[in-house]
């Protein structure tokens, strides 16, 4: 990219470069995230899609500065967050500095609303806490604001709910509370880690639509993490497909669906059941098992399960390469290339 192009492009809200995370596990060092790079603009949604164990959640936690300190073997790369005209290097911040960003700058919605709320504190207290902490509101002001937030996330009778405890709410309602907590201090970046996976199907859509509406209204940058391509299909501006801790394909959403290049993306796509399929159509499953992230073998991590696999794939790890405007993939023999089947 030339200098002039660089200037015309807006300063990204969040820029991640070569993020690498290795964790100490019981069985060895887990290569959870390897060389992940992406950018997120204000008001945009990036969908990150991958199977469980692909490093999505670890990545989200790394961005939030929430990795378990003792278990973190390696945390490399650059994460730059644009805040009030300044650019903060998140990985270089002290724990104390990072803490002041969590809430007002970066916030996170967790996967399981049944376990994400403290069972012994009222919802009001849990929503008011970041407001008192970061915005310096007193208890009454914070509670008044918590009430507004509950109403904004679509909880009926918010006044009564403030004094209730998490166990008195359904899963969908709890997830709305988790979203209210995340939005309390008006964050610039929202990380939603499988925000609807633990919910009933009928509630999933409502919660996703709520997230999207709030994101547009507040012009947040959102990273929507999911294992389900269908969740991000109509909602994300860009999609990054993750496999074994790496981004294997990245493209604007419409382009990804019209011209996917990586065999793994295609396999994921095929494994989404469609209502338009005739009934009793066999669901396409990806053969083999998700990759081992402890002492990974050389070569492409998807090679053992890949329909297009060649000799080279087992020796070298393909780098993420440009395949057109804003479209990147990490495959030696992508879909549509001549060598496939040769």
Partner 1 sequence: MHLVLRKLPWLIGTLLAVSFFTFLLVSLLPGDPAVMILGAGGVSPEAVAALRAELGLDRPLLVRYFDWLGSALTGDFGRSPMTGQSVMDAILSRLPVTIQLGVMAIIIALLLAVPLAMLSAYHAGSRLDRAISGLGFALMSIPSFMMAIFLILILAVSMNLFPATGWVPFSVSPAANLRSAALPALSLAMIELALYMRLLRTDLISTLQQDYITLARAKGVPNWQIMLRHALRPSSFSLMTVVGLQLGGVISGAIIIEEIFALPGVGRLLYQSILQRDLLMVQGIVLFIATAYVVVNFLVDLSYSLLDPRVRHAD
CB of 80 to partner 1, least distance (A): 19
Residue 64 found at the interface with partner 1 (CB under 8 A): yes
Contact code string over 169-198 relative to partner 1, x by CB under 8 A: ---------x--xx-x--------------
Stretch that binds partner 1, among 59-67, 216-224, 267-275, 292-300 (CB under 8 A): 59-67
Nearer to partner 1, 138 or 254 (CB): 138
Q: How many other C-beta atoms lie within 10 A of the C-beta of residue 325?
A: 8
Nearer to partner 1, 180 or 239 (CB): 180
Stretch that binds partner 1, among 64-72, 207-215, 224-232, 236-244 (CB under 8 A): 64-72
Nearer to partner 1, 29 or 133 (CB): 133
Mention every residue, 6+ apart, whose C-beta is less than 8 A from residue 130.
Answer: 103, 181, 184, 185
CB of 158 to partner 1, least distance (A): 19
Q: Alpha-carbon distance 291 to 270, whole Å?
A: 19
Tell me which residues in 115-154 interact with partner 1 (CB under 8 A).
Answer: 115-121, 129-130, 133-134
Strand, coil or helix: what is 117?
A: coil
Nearer to partner 1, 105 or 262 (CB): 105
Mention every residue, 6+ apart, whose C-beta is less than 8 A from residue 153.
Answer: 176, 177, 179, 180, 183, 210, 214
Q: Alpha-carbon distance 88 to 113, whole Å?
A: 31
Strand, coil or helix: what is 241?
A: strand
Contact 28, 294 (CB under 8 A): yes
Tell me which residues in 290-329 interact with partner 1 (CB under 8 A).
Answer: none
Q: Alpha-carbon distance 83 to 102, whole Å?
A: 13
Interface contacts to partner 1, rule CB under 8 A: 61, 64, 66, 70, 99-104, 107-108, 110, 112, 115-121, 129-130, 133-134, 165, 167-168, 178, 181-182, 184
């Amino acid at each position: 990219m030339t200098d002039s192009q660089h200037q015309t492009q807006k300063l990204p809200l969040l820029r991640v470069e070569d993020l690498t995370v290795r964790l100490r596990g019981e069985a060895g060092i887990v290569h959870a995230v390897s060389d992940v790079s992406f950018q997120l603009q204000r008001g945009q949604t990036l969908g990150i899609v991958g199977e469980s164990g692909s490093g999505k959640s670890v990545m989200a936690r790394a961005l939030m500065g929430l990795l378990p300190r003792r278990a973190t073997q390696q945390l490399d790369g650059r994460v730059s967050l644009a805040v009030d005209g300044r650019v903060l290097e998140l990985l270089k911040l002290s724990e104390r500095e990072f803490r002041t960003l969590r809430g007002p700058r970066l916030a996170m919605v967790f996967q399981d609303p049944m376990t994400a709320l403290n069972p012994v504190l009222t919802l009001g207290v849990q929503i008011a806490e970041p407001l008192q902490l970061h915005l310096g509101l007193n208890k009454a002001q914070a509670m008044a604001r918590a009430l507004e937030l509950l109403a904004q996330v679509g909880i009926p009778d918010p006044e009564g709910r403030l004094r209730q405890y998490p166990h008195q709410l359904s899963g969908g309602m709890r997830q709305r509370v988790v979203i209210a907590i995340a939005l309390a201090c008006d964050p610039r970046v929202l990380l939603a880690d499988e925000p609807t996976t633990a919910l009933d199907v009928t509630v999933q859509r409502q919660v996703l639509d709520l997230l999207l509406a709030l994101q547009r209204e507040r012009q947040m940058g959102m990273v929507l993490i999911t294992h389900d391509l269908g969740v991000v299909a109509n909602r994300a501006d860009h999609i990054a497909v993750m496999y074994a801790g790496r981004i294997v394909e990245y493209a604007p959403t419409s382009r990804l669906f019209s011209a996917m290049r990586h065999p793994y993306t295609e396999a994921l796509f095929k494994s989404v059941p469609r209502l338009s399929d005739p009934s009793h159509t066999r669901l396409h499953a990806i053969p083999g098992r998700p990759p081992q992230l402890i002492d990974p073998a050389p070569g492409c991590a998807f090679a053992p399960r890949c329909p297009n696999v060649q000799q080279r794939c087992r020796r070298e790890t393909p780098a993420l390469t440009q395949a057109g405007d804003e479209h990147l993939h990490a495959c030696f023999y992508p879909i549509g290339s001549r060598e496939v089947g040769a």
